Structure 1
Amino acid sequence: MSSASAAAAPPRNPPFRAEHIGSLLRPDHLVKKRYEVAAGTAKPEELVPIEQEAIKEVVKLQQDCGIESITNGEYSRHQFWGTFMETLNGMEEINLREGGYDQSIFRAYAPDVKSFMHEKTIPNQVTVATGKLSHTGKSTFLPELQYLQSILPKEKHKNIKLTLTSPSWYHFRYGPGKAYLPGVYATDDEYFSDLAKAYQTELKILYDAGLRNAQIDDPNLAYFCSEAMLAGWREDKENFQTADEQFDAYVKFYNACIGKRERDFHLGIHLCRGNYMGSKHFSEGAYDRIARKLFNELDVSTYYLEYDTPRAGGFEPLKYLPAGKRVVLGVVTSKFPELKDVDEMVGRVEKAVRVIVEGTGRSREQALAQLSVSPQCGFASHAEGNSLGWGDMKRKLELVRRVAERVWPGEA
């Protein structure tokens, strides 16, 4: 389906039938220039025109593929979570301190940390609260939104999707009480309370600037599906609560961060199992263990779920999806060049529909109305991207659009 035919389809609010998760492959010259700026061999202003031209190109790609939910490909970032946490009052990247830091602050069994340690490296941007947290009043995501608004017609501004940092990103990877320095917070609840206020401020700034479509990227919640992680949690004598209690605490924390948004502000959450350089994943495990609570207690409108390989389990958890909420089925892999058959992908969607129908008693039409399709994750959560090329990515997005047109003909 061309961008012209997608534009002619009936208007629709997000999520659209054909979606993608946000990050797209960056051109080599953009990646190179960003590294030069980071190394001090190029001036920051040299990056701006290169970045903006690349964003124009990737916006055109999305439109050519018939994708209505437009992102900047995360081209203004080095990695998917951006710089929200790092720029809050009270947050510090302690890895930049002279002399480094004690690596024992990490949960060794946290899937991403475990993968890094296996390769004898440490995660980038080791950021903790060294003082009370608060928003500075200046959003580092706002320029991304404003530039997209400047190059898109006003009627398309509501389609702009901004990907946001997981509130739990710099909490889960550290051991109990180690997301903040001693004396800064006495409990997680105090830390969560201040961070939630900062998150609410961020969302208000973006909403007031015209953002109506956002997606939180959170691998952490899916880690609670990993048997290896759960075993590590049980063995960790420092934990003062069970994994289930921690999951409950995160849901409560999330709702404090996002629950007060305006009704016309579409907010979704993407859960995956890692998407690192060289198309690596960090964990495995089906959504069954968390699905009932995730779907019924987390105050988001849409769940973007990874469903491209058996490691994500089957569609059975969709029987817990309540009416009024949506799921974007990530059935197309973004990790490798292999292109699946359209009929196979349509069949996957139909299987998900049957699970919802049988599990909830809703009609097929009602179940279909709750679903969309997408790649299972971004194409470049980090600067270097996954193990495929620009042409492969384009064909993947076109496949998503073709599947959507087969399942929901005439809908964007």
Structure 2
Amino acid sequence: MSQRSEAPFRADHVGSLLRPPALVEARARAAAGELDEDGLRAVEDAAIIDVIALQESVGLQSATDGEFRRSSWHMDFIYRLGGVVRTDELITVAMHNKQGSGAFTSAGIAVTEPVRLTEPIFADHFDFLAAHVTSATPKLTIPSPSMVHFRGGTKILDRSVYPDVDQFFADLSAAYAAEIAALAEHGCRYLQLDDVSLAYLNDPAHRAQVAARGDDPDHLHERYVAGINAAIADRPDGLRITTHMCRGNFRSSWAAEGSYDFVAEAVFGGLDVDGFFCEFDDERSGGFEPLRFVPPDKFVVLGLVTTKSGELESADELKRRIDEAAKHLPLDQLCLSPQCGFSSTAEGNDLTIDEQRAKLELIVQVAADVWG
């Protein structure tokens, strides 16, 4: 066994990181009209330079910008697609944690014109990241195309624009293909498509919600796999693409439960990415048995370290669980990461920046012990 020189890496992470207090304060001042765009950008730049240094100092081979320029891991991107507009109708997702229940809310979305890429999205974010890494591979995270549809379902479509739903999915994939090509031109060689839909659809409660809004809960994941595959089919040589599939992450809460069994064959066996970041931090995630569908040329990054609390996992327990996973997929196809980002939205999860660092250091240490 050995460490890897291309993504995904033996010790990796999902992408978002806790916002430092100075950035939180700057965003609040900008929202109140007390700080202009240039002032906010300067604070973001400084925070990103620091968080790149954090990732490299703990020994990670990939570095993101922590998603520090975003409010949300996905909605900031989706609203910038041509044909997609923000609406006054709220998207509300029920969230749960050990203390009770809450909700993630966002402005709604509607598709009022043909979907297209009007300009590269987050390319400037990547450029800044790439200019400031020294040892790590710069990694960009964007929501998968599935999320444009999944957040509202087919009812978000203006049917005078898309009487044929298949044309919507074709246009969506084409827009993403253009985005991926543009990012590659900027030098991106590690891209992650974040996707909660493929994990949510394992949960009977969420499949019931999909049925109630008029979509097909039994085959929607297959349509999403086909859409992602169409989007990435012509990716340039040398661009590594992974997907992250979690069950929700908002202020240390989650939205869905259940193993990957329902989608495993179609997703692990059919999704043409280079690696899968999978959530396996607690009993909500089920067992490792679905990994038997992963082909020999793909990697699974085991999300064994929770980002939902600051309690530090035992290195020995992580190694034991890696051994369990290796009963279903060869050890050489496995890697290690947190189960999700530390701050999928600007609010962040319930742990400190020091606790976040300790978890990243633990992942690097365990990966070195396991894979050399």
Same fold (TM over 0.5): yes
**Residue of structure 2 equivalent to 1:364:** none
- Between the aligned partners of 1:43 and 1:257, the Cα distance in structure 2 is 36
Q: Distance in 2 between matches of 1:52 and 1:211?
A: 19
Q: Deviations over 1:29-59 (max 9, x none)?
A: 2022123323433211111111111111111
In structure 1, distance between residues paired with 2:161 and 2:174: 17
Q: Distance in 2 between matches of 1:76 and 1:301?
A: 27
One-letter amino acid of the counterpart of residue 339, structure 1: L
Q: Which residue of 2 aligns with 1:17?
A: 10
- Corresponding residue of 1:371: 334
Tell me the equivalent position of 1:83.
Answer: 76
**Aligned match of 1:321:** 294
The match for 2:108 is 126
Decide which of 113, 137, 140 is 2:93's aligned counterpart. 113
Q: Confirm or deny: 8 A CA contact 1:128 1:170 kept in the other structure.
A: no
| Equivalent residue, structure 2, for 1:363 | none
Closer, same or farther: CA 11–355 of 1 in aligned 2, 3 Å: closer
Post-superposition shift, 1:242? 3.2
Q: Does 2:363 align with 1:400?
A: yes
Gap runs ≥5 in structure 1 = 1-8, 96-100, 107-111, 357-366
Residue 299 of structure 1: CA displacement? 1.1
Q: Secondary structure at the match of 1:243?
A: coil
Matched, 1:389 2:328: no
Q: Secondary structure at the match of 2:113?
A: strand
Cα deviations by residue, 1:311-333 (Å, 9 ceiling, x for unpaired): 00011111111100000000011
Structure with more of its chain in helix, by fraction = 1
Number of aligned residues: 368
Deviation at 1:88, TM superposition (A): 2.1
Instruction: Indicate if the aligned counterparts of 1:170 and 1:179 stay in contact, CA closer than 8 A.
Output: no
SS at structure 2 position matched to 1:125: strand
Q: Do the aligned partners of residues 388 and 308 (structure 1) sit closer, same or farther apart at CA in structure 2, a change above 3 Å counting?
A: same
The CA deviation at 1:396 is 0.2
Query: Deviation per CA, 1:114-173, whole angstroms, max 9, x where unpaired?
Result: 449x9797721312111122111x2231111111122124xx57x111001121213113
Structure 2 segments unaligned to the other structure (5+ residues): none
Equivalence map 1:27-42=2 (5 Å): 27-42=20-35
What whole-Å deviation, never above 9, does each CA across 1:269-293 have from its counterpart, x for those lacking one?
000000002x000110101111111
Counterpart-to-counterpart distance in 1, 2:221 and 2:243:
15
1:294-321 Cα offsets, whole Å, 9 max, x none, are 1111111100000000100011111111
Q: Residue 361 of structure 1 aligns with which residue?
A: none
Instruction: Provide the TM-score with structure 1 as the length reference.
Output: 0.85
Name the CA distance, whole Å, in 2 between partners of 1:187 and 1:40. Answer: 44
Q: Label 1:89 to 1:397 Cα distance change in 2 as closer, same or farther (>3 A).
A: same
Distance 1:293 1:190 in 2: 22
Question: C-alpha separation between the residues in 2 aligned to 1:122 and 1:210?
Answer: 34
Name the aligned partner's letter for residue 265 of structure 1: L
The partner residue of 1:203 within 180, 183, 201 is 180
Give the structure-2-normalised TM-score: 0.94
2:148 is aligned, of 156, 170, 179, to 170
Return the offset for 1:263.
Answer: 2.9
Over 4 Å off, 4+ runs = 118-122
| Distance verdict in 2 for CA 1:161–1:253, change over 3 Å | same
Q: 1:93 to 1:333 in 2, by over 3 A?
A: same
- After superposition, residues 127-142 of structure 1 pair within 5 angstroms as 127-136=109-118, 138-142=119-123
Match of 2:236 in 1: 262
Amino acid at match of 2:53: K
User: Percent of aligned pairs with the same residue?
Assistant: 38
Go from structure 1 to structure 2 and tell me whether the alpha carbon gap of 1:140 and 1:242 turns closer, same or farther (over 3 Å shift): closer
**Structure 2 Cα separation of the partners of residues 244 and 268 of structure 1:** 24
Which residue type is aligned with residue 221 of structure 2? F
Task: Choose between structure 1 and 2: higher strand proportion.
Answer: 2
| Cα 1:280–1:264 shift into 2, 3 Å | same
Distance 2:280 2:336 in 1: 10
Distance in 1 (alpha carbons) for counterparts of 2:22 and 2:36: 15
